[in-house]
Amino acid sequence: MKVQLSPRAEADLIRQFRYYLVDHDAPTVAVRFRESLIASIEQLRAYPEMGTKFAGSISGLRSWPVKGFEAIRIYYVNNPGHLVVVRILHGKRSIRQILKREKLDES
């Protein structure tokens, strides 16, 4: 199964990585976050239905925590043949407000 990160999900990944690397001068945590995110996405690739359903503007939206960083969740849609990561967000953010504005590019 192919995995696609939306441009906003890529920006979320970079933002969180920088938060650890620059704002907290914690390069080992930044690298561990990136590796945990990759491992969590690989889990979803193998078992895409295991995430929790999330009601919002995107049909079929689910969420799954990043292992070891459970306050950060991966919001994704399981489409036939590919998994689309819509956003990667920390739980302290206004998740419902952010996701309400999201639209999935079906092309």
Go through the chain and tell me how many residues it has: 107
pLDDT over 70 percentage in the chain = 95
For residues 72 and 93, give the distance between their C-alpha atoms in angstroms, rounded to a whole number: 10
d(CA 49, CA 69): 20
| pLDDT, tens only, 60-69 | 999 999 999 9
- Which has the higher per-residue pLDDT, 57 or 4? 4
CATH of 2-100, one of 1.25.40.10, 3.40.640.10, 3.40.50.410, 3.30.2310.20: 3.30.2310.20
Question: What is the residue extent of each domain of the chain?
Answer: 2-100
CA–CA gap between residue 98 and residue 71 (Å, rounded): 16
In which band, very low, low, confident or very high, does the pLDDT at 77 lie, cut at 50, 70 and 90? very high
pLDDT band for position 106 (cuts 50, 70, 90): very low
CA distance readout (Å), 74 to 38, 41, 42, 66: 11, 8, 12, 7
pTM over 0.85: yes
